[in-house]
Structure 1
Amino acid sequence: MSGTVDRWTTALRRAWKDGTAWPWCLAVIAAACGYAVATVFHPGYLSPDSNTQLGQALGDEPVNDWHPPVMALAWRILIRITGDFSSMAATQAAMLWGTLWVLARLVWKRTGSRGLSLAVLAVGFAPHIMNFTGVVWKDVHLAYALLAVFAIALTVRDLPRERFRARWALLALGLLFLAYAALVRKNAIPATIPVFALLVLAAWPAPGRRRWLAATGVFVAVVAGGSAAVNVATAPLATRVYAVIPVDDLVHVLTPDQVRAAAEQAGADADLRDRMVAAAVTCQKRHITSDGYLQCFPQRRPFDVTYLDRRADVVVRMWTQQMPKHWKGYAEYRARVFTKLLFQSNQTFWNGSHVNAGARLHPEVPKQPLNDTLRFALQNYVTGFARDLPMLFQGWFWLAVSLVLVLRRRWAGPYTRELRLLGASSLLYILAYLPTAPESNYRYVYWPALSGTVALALVATAFVARRRAAAGGTAGEPDASPTVPSAGRAPEAVPAGPREDTGAVV
C-alpha cells in the first residue's frame, strides 16, 4: 500500500510540475465558482418576463411568441429532467463557468501561465457580468450561447488535423448554440453573423465562395428547422410583438391630434384609434420618453398579448404613412432613446422579486425563497462598482471597446481575427438598437459587456505573456508547462489545426 501511495504522490507531483494537471485544477476551480454563484442566485432571480415563461414552461398558461418559445421549451425540458424550476438558473451558471474554463485552458496552453489562466476564469466574478448570471433572461441566454460559440471556435482552431471527429462534433455543437442564440432573441441576428463567420473560419481558414454559401445554407436551414420544431412542440400564440416599435414611434413623434388623424387615415378601428390617442396623451402628460406600449397604452387586465396581432398591419401602415412626413422628429426621438441607452444605465442589478403590475410570482417560486443575506451581499457588490466604475454598466463604454476591437489591425497574441469578429458582433448588436430600443436597460448591452470583457482579458493575457518573453523569462515561469520553451524564447502556439497561426486580419 505504501508503494502505491508513493507512486501516486510521485505521479501527481510530476503532473503538477509539467503542467498536465493544471487544466483539471482549472476545471475544479471553475466548478466550485459556478456552484458558489448558483448558490447565491438559487433558485434563480425572475423578472416579469421569466415569471411568465416559467408559467409557460410548467404548462400553466399557453406559450406565446411575445417571449421566445425556445426558452420556454428549454426550461420545460430541464424541469422534466430535474423536477425543479431552479435548474434553469443553475444551467446558466454552468454555461458561463464552463465556457470560461475552456477559454482559461486555451490561455494556459498558449502561455503556460497559471496566473493568466486564472485571470480569464475570474471574468465570471466581474460585477457587470456576475450581476445577471442567475437572472433568467433571454439576454443572458443570448450572451452565454454566443460566448460558447466563440470558445468552441477557438478550440476547433487549435485542434490538430487528425482530430477529425472531434472537430466536426464541436462545429455541430457550435452551430446548435448559434441557432439557439438566433431564436432566443429576436434582434440577435446581426450579432450572430460575425460569430457564424468565426465558426466557419475555425473550420476552414480560407473558405471559398462555395464553402461560404454551403455553410450559410446549413446555418439558415438549422435556424429555420429549429424554429419549426419549437413551433410544433409549443404551438405558440402569435403576437406580432414587433408592432410595439411603431407604436412607440407614433405616440412619441406625433401629437395626439396627429395620432388620431393617422389612425383614421390608416383605417384603424375605433378601439385602436382611441388607445393610440390615449397613449400619446399619457406619455406627454407623464413625460414618459420610451416604451410607450407598456407604459402609456391603455391595457386590460389580464394583459392581452394578442391585441397587436390583430392590428399589427394597421399599426405598420400608420408608421409607413407618417414617419416619412415626420422624419426629423423620428430621427430626433430615436437619437434620444439610443443616447439614453448608451449613457444612462438602468437596472444594473435585478433582485428577482418584482413582477408586472397586476401580476404575481408563480406559486412555485415562493416555495424556494431567495437567500436575502446573499442577495444583499451581491447587491452591495454590484451597486458599489456601479457607483465607483459606472462605465462598466454603460453602453457607450462597450460600444467604444467594440469599435477598438474592430478597427485595430493587430493585437498581441494569436487571436487578432477572432477578436475583431467578436468586436463586430458586439458593435452590430448595439447598433441594431438604434431603431428599436424600447428603453434604457443594461441588459440590452449585456452581450457587448461580456464579449468586451473576455476580449480585453485575452488581449491583456497575450500582452503580459509577450512582455514576459521579451524580458528574457519564459511566459509560464515559475508555472512552466510542456508547451512553453526554454527561457529567452517566446512561447510557441499549440498546433492550430489546418493552418499556421499568422494573426492575419480578415
Structure 2
Amino acid sequence: MSGTDRRWTIALRGAWRDGTLWPWCLAAVAAACGYGVATVFHPGYLSADSNTQLWQALGDEPVNDWHPPVMALAWRILIGITGDFSVMAAVQVALLWGTLWVLARLVWRRTGSRGLSLAVLAVGWAPHIMNFTGVVWKDVHLAYALLAVFAIALTVRELPRDRVRTRWALLVLGLLFLTYAALVRKNGIPATIPVFALLVLAAWPAPGRRRWLAAAGVFAAVVLAGSAGVSAATHPLATRVYAVIPVDDLVHVLTPDQVRSAAEQAGASPDLRDRLVAAAVTCQERHITSDGYLQCFPQSRPFDVTYLDRRADVVVRMWTQQMPKHWKGYAEYRARVFTKLLFQSNQTFWNGTHVNAGARLHPEVRRQPLNDTLRFALQNYVTGFARDLPMLFQGWFWLAVSLVLVLRRRPAGPYARELRLLGASSLLYILAYLPTAPESNYRYVYWPALAGTVALALIATAFVARRRTAAGGPDSRPAVLPAGRAPKAAAAGPREDAGAVG
C-alpha cells in the first residue's frame, strides 16, 4: 500500500471512529432510499385532480382555482426546467428523504447513535407514509412542506450564535415552505400557525409581544404577496369552490321539499333550485352520505368548474337562512361525516393513475406507463399493513397522538416544545375538517400521520438514548458536535439558551 493510500485509510478510519463521516453515510442511505422510492412511483401516480393540474401546468387548459394554482405554477416551472412532468413526483420524494436526513443528522448529533439516526430515516419506509410519497396531491405537498419547516426550525435552533447569515437563510427558506403550505391547501392554514411558531421560537427562544406581532405581520404579508404573485402569473378562473360545503350541508340536512322552499326563499334561479332538489333526491335514494356536489348534483358535460362561482352567494344565503333553523340536523350530519373520516378512512393506497369519467388522460402520461410489477409490490406492502395494523391509516389514531403530544406534561426529550407545537398543528388540521370534510379519505389525515410518526420516532430515540446513558452503554458518550463547540451540559433537555437571530 502506498503512502497516500495509507493516509487515506487512516483518515477514513479516524473519521468513522469520531463520527464525522456518519452524516455523509446517512446522506448516502437517504439518497439510495429516495432513488428506490422514486423508481417505484415513476413517473408519478396521478389522480383526476392531479391530471387536471398537469393539463394546466403544460398550458393545455386554463388554470382555475378549484385546485391550488400555486401547485400548477410550481409544476409548470419544474417542467420548464427539466422538460418532463415526472419531475414533480421526484421532487416530492427528494423533499421527504432530504428532510428525514436532516432530522436523522440532528438525532445523530444529539445521541451519537448510528442505529437511532437510521431509525429516523426508516420513517420514509413506513407503509402509511410511503403509500402516497409519489402521488402528486396537494395533501402530500402540504405535509412535506410543513415537515421541512419543522426540520429547518430544529436546525436553526442548534446553530451556534455566530452563524447569523446561515440562520437567516434557513429562516427565509422555512418561510417560503410555510407560505407554499398555506397556498397549496387553504384548509391547511390552521396547521401552519403552530409551525410558524416553531420558526419564530427557533429565531428567538423567548420572543416578546412586538416580535410575535412583527413576525406574524411578515408571515401574513408574504402569504398575501405570494397569493397575488401566483394569481398574476396564472390568471386563474374563479370558481368559489368553497360553495360545495354549504351545498353538501343543504342536500343532506334538508328534505327535497325543504331544499326547494329554501331555494325559492333565497332567490335562487329555477336551474339552481331544480339541481339542488335533484341532488337531495339522488343522495337520499342512493344513500350517499357526503360529497353531494360531485356525487349527486346534476353536472353539465364537460364539467363546468365556474358554475358555483356565479351562484355561490345564493348558496351561502340559503345556508345561513336554513342551518340555524335546522341546527340539530346540521350537528348530527357533520358529526356523522367527521366520525366516518376518523374511523373509516378509505383510499389508503392510490393505485396508479386515474381520471374522472369523460375526462382525458394527458398524452404525456400515456407515453410513460407505470411499472406494474413495482406497483403491485407496493400495493401488497401497503394493503397488508392496512389489514394487520389498520390504526396506522385511521384518523382517530393520529388525533389521539396529536392530543398526547399537546397535553403531555412530561418532557419528550430535547424537542419537547417543538413536538408539542407539531402535535398542535396536527390537531388543528384534523379539527378543521369537522365543519368541512367532504368525505372519508385517508389523504385528509396524511399530514397528522406524517407529523405523528416523526414525533413518535423522535420520542422513541430520546427514550432509548436516555436508557443507554443511564445504563452506561455505548451511547453514553457526549453527542457528536462540530469542532470548536463545547459539549452541552444536558443534551436531553430542551435548549432555552439559544442565541437569537441578529
TMscore range, shorter length: over 0.9
Kindly indicate whether the alpha-carbon contact (under 8 Å) linking 2:417 and 2:494 is maintained by their aligned counterparts in 1: no
Deviations 1:442-467 (A, max 9, x none): 00000000000000000000000000
**TM-score relative to the length of structure 2:** 0.96
2:169 equivalent to 1:163? no
Match for residue 385 of structure 1?
385
Match for residue 302 of structure 2?
302
Kindly indicate whether the alpha-carbon contact (under 8 Å) linking 2:110 and 2:480 is maintained by their aligned counterparts in 1: no
Match for residue 313 of structure 1?
313
Match for residue 112 of structure 1?
112
Match for residue 141 of structure 2?
141
Deviations 1:388-445 (A, max 9, x none): 0000000000000000000002334211100000000000000000000000000000
The Cα shift of 1:110 comes to 0.1
Kindly indicate whether the alpha-carbon contact (under 8 Å) linking 2:414 and 2:492 is maintained by their aligned counterparts in 1: no
The Cα shift of 1:476 comes to 6.0
**Shift in alpha-carbon separation, 1:344–1:425, aligned structure 2, 3 A:** same
**Larger deviation, residues 282-291 vs 491-500:** 491-500
**Shift in alpha-carbon separation, 1:5–1:382, aligned structure 2, 3 A:** same
Match for residue 92 of structure 1?
92
Kindly indicate whether the alpha-carbon contact (under 8 Å) linking 1:248 and 1:292 is maintained by their aligned counterparts in 2: yes
Deviations 1:131-181 (A, max 9, x none): 000000000000000000000000000101100000000000000000000
Please tell me the residue identity of whatever aligns with 1:303. Answer: F
Match for residue 10 of structure 2?
10
Match for residue 469 of structure 1?
469
Distance in 2 of aligned mates of 1:440 and 1:143 = 18
Kindly indicate whether the alpha-carbon contact (under 8 Å) linking 1:158 and 1:496 is maintained by their aligned counterparts in 2: no
Match for residue 338 of structure 1?
338
Distance in 2 of aligned mates of 1:130 and 1:95 = 13
> SS state of the match for residue 414, structure 2?
coil
CA RMSD of aligned residues (A): 1.8
Distance in 2 of aligned mates of 1:182 and 1:446 = 16
Match for residue 198 of structure 1?
198
The Cα shift of 1:481 comes to 5.9
The Cα shift of 1:353 comes to 2.3
Match for residue 182 of structure 1?
182
> SS state of the match for residue 110, structure 1?
helix
Match for residue 228 of structure 2?
228
The Cα shift of 1:473 comes to 2.2
Match for residue 264 of structure 1?
264
Distance in 2 of aligned mates of 1:152 and 1:490 = 21
Match for residue 287 of structure 1?
287
Match for residue 504 of structure 1?
none
Kindly indicate whether the alpha-carbon contact (under 8 Å) linking 1:156 and 1:497 is maintained by their aligned counterparts in 2: no
Q: Using the aligned pairs only, state the percent identity.
A: 86
**Shift in alpha-carbon separation, 1:68–1:78, aligned structure 2, 3 A:** same
The Cα shift of 1:497 comes to 8.5
Please tell me the residue identity of whatever aligns with 2:318. Answer: M
- Structure 2, unmatched stretches of 5+, are none
Distance in 2 of aligned mates of 1:100 and 1:313 = 45
Match for residue 325 of structure 2?
325
Q: Alignment length, in residue pairs?
A: 495
2:150 equivalent to 1:150? yes
Please tell me the residue identity of whatever aligns with 2:276. Answer: M
Kindly indicate whether the alpha-carbon contact (under 8 Å) linking 2:157 and 2:498 is maintained by their aligned counterparts in 1: no
Match for residue 405 of structure 2?
405
Match for residue 499 of structure 1?
497
Distance in 1 of aligned mates of 2:480 and 2:238 = 57
- Structure 1, unmatched stretches of 5+, are 502-506
**TM-score relative to the length of structure 1:** 0.96
The Cα shift of 1:345 comes to 1.7
Kindly indicate whether the alpha-carbon contact (under 8 Å) linking 2:110 and 2:479 is maintained by their aligned counterparts in 1: no
2:238 equivalent to 1:238? yes
The Cα shift of 1:472 comes to 1.8
**Larger deviation, residues 358-367 vs 260-269:** 358-367
Distance in 2 of aligned mates of 1:338 and 1:143 = 20
> SS state of the match for residue 43, structure 1?
coil
